[in-house]
């Protein structure tokens, strides 16, 4: 194995430390405590784990955590009424509605009812448009975490060929926008892309966000490339449950210059960036300077 392993767990811990430092300063100098509201509708076990972790890490960073757990059969009107209350609550600087929502709720309508300046997921159509036009916005947490790791490892990304495999609204599209913002030459590839292996082999930066276990083998990776694996796939192997990424780690690590592992790569960065976005939203709400290194 020749690749450097990019330790997302350690990197996320440094991001959380920076966040906690800024939170302490906000309290001390301005008597302000940033607050994050998380809304969970229904009882999806994976979502419950995520929400618990978010709440725990929010409190550990010194911020207020407001959890709203609603029954699966909650009506759209009731959910919109809660979001309206949170939009107007000055103690709440960030609002996150955990996805997926139960089928009877219109996710686009719900997300777009969040006040854009409190949309710490960066999913509101206004934030999508601001990011796409290079204006100050809230940036989706997972792509923001990937960008931080890339900048940390590579320094200047300008002129590099970046290939993002996956075109989701949550990861692929905003990732491409962020890389473009850092002056990469960006290709978005997906399941219909012709000659996908060839396209991947051109990448100095390869971001895999397709949700298909170990889809990208080492011989699709350009020697020396930086590989960011966003996939978190649960598989059964040798009778055991295992977490694997979208990249075949062992073969890719033989070829890549650097690679994120699964678990312990991109995953821990997502919540760290959610905390960072909450502090950013709080600073903007109060007209205070934003923390360095925690935004795009
Ligand atoms: N479900 C899985 N990931 C996410 C995320 O980043 N944000 C929200 N709101 N829901 C999710």
Query: What is the tens place of the pLDDT at every residue in 159-187?
Result: 999 999 999 999 999 999 999 999 999 99
Backbone angles phi, psi at 258, to 5 degrees: -155, 150
Interval 9-19 mean pLDDT: 98
The Cα 190–Cα 168 span in angstroms is 10
Q: Is 121 among the catalytic positions?
A: yes
**194: buried, middle or exposed (CB in 10 Å: 19+, 13-18, 0-12)?**
exposed
Q: Is 135 among the catalytic positions?
A: no
Residue among 121, 182, 204, 229 flagged as catalytic: 121
CATH number of the domain where residue 194 is located: 3.40.50.720
199 in the same domain as 145: yes
Q: Is 57 among the catalytic positions?
A: no
- In this prediction, residue 212 carries a pLDDT of 97
146 in the same domain as 261: yes
* SS3 letters across 68-130: EEECCCCCHHHHHHHHHHHHCCCCCCEEEECCCCCCCCCHHHHHCCCCHHHECCCCCHHHHHH
The Cα 247–Cα 250 span in angstroms is 9
Whether 276 is covered by a domain: the verdict is no
Residue recorded with tokens 């020697």: 223
Interval 204-229 mean pLDDT: 98
The Cα 189–Cα 197 span in angstroms is 10
**Could you list the residue range(s) of the whole structural domain that residue 153 is in?**
141-268
Cα of 267 from ligand 1 centre, angstroms? 12
145 in the same domain as 113: no
- Chain segment 22-37, per-residue pLDDT in tens: 999 999 999 999 999 9
The Cα 243–Cα 235 span in angstroms is 6
Residue whose CA lies nearest to ligand 1 atom number 2: 99
- In this prediction, residue 220 carries a pLDDT of 98
Interval 283-289 mean pLDDT: 97
Whether 213 is covered by a domain: the verdict is yes
Residue whose CA lies nearest to ligand 1 atom number 4: 99
Cα of 231 from ligand 1 centre, angstroms? 14
Interval 113-125 mean pLDDT: 98
Whether 132 is covered by a domain: the verdict is no
Paired tokens of 200: 């991947």
CATH number of the domain where residue 107 is located: 3.40.50.10860
249 in the same domain as 150: yes
Mutate to test the pocket of ligand 1, among 38, 121, 168 (most ligand atoms within 8 A of CB): 121
**66: buried, middle or exposed (CB in 10 Å: 19+, 13-18, 0-12)?**
middle
Whole-number average pLDDT of the chain: 97
Interval 231-236 mean pLDDT: 96
**Ligand 1-lining residues (CB < 6 angstroms):** 96-99, 121, 141, 270
Mutate to test the pocket of ligand 1, among 53, 54, 57, 98 (most ligand atoms within 8 A of CB): 98
Cα of 228 from ligand 1 centre, angstroms? 19
Residue whose CA lies nearest to ligand 1 atom number 8: 98
Whether 124 is covered by a domain: the verdict is no
- In this prediction, residue 123 carries a pLDDT of 98
- In this prediction, residue 272 carries a pLDDT of 98
- Chain segment 68-105, per-residue pLDDT in tens: 999 999 999 999 999 999 999 999 999 999 999 999 99
Cα of 96 from ligand 1 centre, angstroms? 8
* Residue 280 CB coordination number (10 Å): 26
Residue whose CA lies nearest to ligand 1 atom number 1: 99
Residue whose CA lies nearest to ligand 1 atom number 9: 98
CA neighbor of 41 nearest in space, from 99, 111, 115, 121: 99
What's the length of the chain?
Answer: 296
Whether pTM > 0.85 for this model: the answer is yes
Q: pLDDT confidence of 1, banded at 50, 70, 90? A: low
Paired tokens of 116: 């854009």
Ligand 1 atom nearest the C-alpha of 99 is 10
Residue whose CA lies nearest to ligand 1 atom number 11: 99
Count up the domains in the chain and report the number. 2
145 in the same domain as 73: no
CA neighbor of 117 nearest in space, from 99, 132, 135: 135
């Amino acid at each position: 194995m020749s690749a450097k392993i990019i330790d997302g767990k350690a990197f996320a811990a440094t991001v959380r430390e920076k966040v906690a430092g800024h939170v302490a300063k906000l309290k001390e100098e301005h008597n302000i405590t940033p607050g994050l509201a998380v809304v969970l509708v229904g009882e999806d076990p994976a979502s419950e784990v995520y929400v618990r972790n978010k709440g725990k890490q929010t409190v550990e960073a010194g911020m207020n955590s407001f959890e709203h757990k609603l029954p699966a059969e909650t009506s759209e009107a009731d959910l919109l009424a809660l979001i309206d209350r949170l939009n107007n609550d000055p103690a709440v600087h960030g609002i996150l509605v955990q996805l997926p929502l139960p089928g009877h709720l219109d996710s686009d309508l719900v997300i777009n009812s969040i006040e854009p300046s409190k949309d710490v997921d960066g999913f509101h159509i206004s934030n999508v448009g601001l990011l796409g036009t290079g204006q100050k916005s809230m940036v989706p947490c997972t792509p923001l975490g990937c960008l931080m790791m890339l900048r940390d490892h590579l320094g200047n990304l300008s002129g590099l060929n970046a290939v993002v495999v996956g075109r989701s609204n949550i990861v692929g599209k905003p990732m491409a926008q962020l890389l473009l913002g850092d002056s990469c030459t960006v290709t978005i590839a997906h399941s219909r892309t012709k000659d996908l292996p060839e396209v991947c082999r051109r990448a100095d930066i390869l971001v895999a966000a397709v949700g298909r276990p170990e889809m990208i083998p080492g011989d699709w990776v350009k020697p020396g490339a930086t590989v960011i694996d966003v996939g978190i796939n649960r598989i059964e192997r040798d009778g055991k449950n295992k977490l694997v990424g979208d990249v075949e780690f062992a073969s890719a690590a033989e070829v890549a210059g650097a690679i994120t592992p699964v678990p312990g790569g991109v995953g821990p960065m997502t919540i760290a960036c959610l905390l960072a976005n909450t502090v950013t939203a709080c600073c903007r709400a109060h007209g205070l300077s934003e923390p360095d290194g925690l935004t795009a």
